[in-house]
Amino acid sequence: MLIRYLSQIGRYFLMLKEIFNKQTKWSVMKKLIFKEIDDLIIDSLGIVCFISFFIGGVVAIQTALNLTNPLIPKYLIGFATRQSVILEFAPTFISVIMAGKMGSYITSSIGTMRVTEQIDALEVMGVNSLNYLVFPKIVALLMYPFVIGISMFLGIFGGWLACAYGGFSTSQDFIQGAQMEFIPFHITYAFIKTLIFAMLLATIPSFHGYYMKGGALEVGKASTVSFVWTSVCIILFNYILTQLLLG
């Protein structure tokens, strides 16, 4: 079992090396990159906005309901919401959800190409299939921090609306808390995490799709396995990066 995992990890790093070898012509690559931006980034904005808005509201309400001591100032609701959304909910929680949405799409699309022998056809034509298929996804997901930035804004905005119109605190208190003791490095930390997660989201599902064997049933299994391993790696790297950058 251990040997199998180690061989898979080794194959993954060899795949990363191969992605950047023998580049596809820019005229072709440009179209592929714009298609991936549309499929992976633009198509994800709707679900990200919806989840972020309501998660921010729930965090604010839960915080307000637990601050029952009258000696605790109400502006701490805004402070706790901002910290929770920026540090964890936006970069990590959304990335795990994207592991399901983006990851399943990437694995199934590349896996279907493997099953229908389209990848073999690319290799016969002398095209570096890994560069052709995976590199545009990596470039497209460099825009992933933009998605997480929107998620942060909507999370805090949702928390503000929930507090102000739910009667948990005044608008002024929430805004005061959201601005209190703000550390700009926390945004930098969140975006560093996001870029690492973007790389994982682009490469791990691609790995499982590219090296899968079998037919249509195995494509579904590969999508499930890729979601599990992408989520595990995101959680693991979240711990490591938090320890390194904030510890």
pLDDT digits (tens, 9 = 90+) for 79-93: 888 888 998 888 999
Both structure tokens of 201 = 């989201």
> Residue type at 65?
L
pLDDT digits (tens, 9 = 90+) for 108-157: 888 888 888 888 888 888 888 888 888 999 999 999 999 999 999 999 99
Q: What's at 184, amino acid-wise?
A: P
- Return the biggest CA–CA distance within the chain: 73
User: Which pLDDT belongs to residue 5?
Assistant: 82
Q: Is the pLDDT of residue 180 over 80?
A: yes
Query: Tokens 């942060």 — which residue?
Result: 152
Q: Report the percentage of the chain scoring pLDDT > 90.
A: 31
- CB count in 10 Å sphere of residue 91: 27
| DSSP letter (8 states) at residue 39 | I
Tally of domains in the chain = 1
Q: What is the pLDDT of residue 218?
A: 83
Q: Is residue 54 part of a domain?
A: yes
Residue 14 lies in a domain: no
pLDDT of residue 155: 92
Q: Has residue 17 been placed in a domain?
A: no
For residue 187, being part of any structural domain is answered with: yes
The predicted structure's pLDDT at residue 195: 93
For residues 7, 12, 15, 20, the Cα torsion angle rounded to the nearest 10 degrees is: -140
What pLDDT score was predicted for residue 12? 86
Residue 33 lies in a domain: yes
Tokens in use for 102? 């983006």
What average pLDDT does this structure show over 176-199?
89
Closest CA to 197 of 230, 227, 242: 230
Range of the domain at 172: 26-246
Is the per-residue pLDDT at 197 higher than 90?
Answer: yes
Does the pLDDT value for residue 75 go beyond 90? no
Q: What is the pLDDT of residues 10-62, one digit of tens each?
A: 888 888 888 888 887 888 888 989 998 998 899 889 999 999 999 999 988 88
pLDDT-based confidence at 233, cuts 50/70/90?
very high
Give the containing element (helix H, strand E) for 143: none
* 194 found inside a domain: yes
Q: Report yes or no: 125 and 23 within 8 Å, Cβ to Cβ.
A: no
Output the average pLDDT for the chain.
87
The reply to whether 4 falls in a domain is no
pLDDT given at position 65: 84
- Percent of the chain exceeding pLDDT 70 equals 100
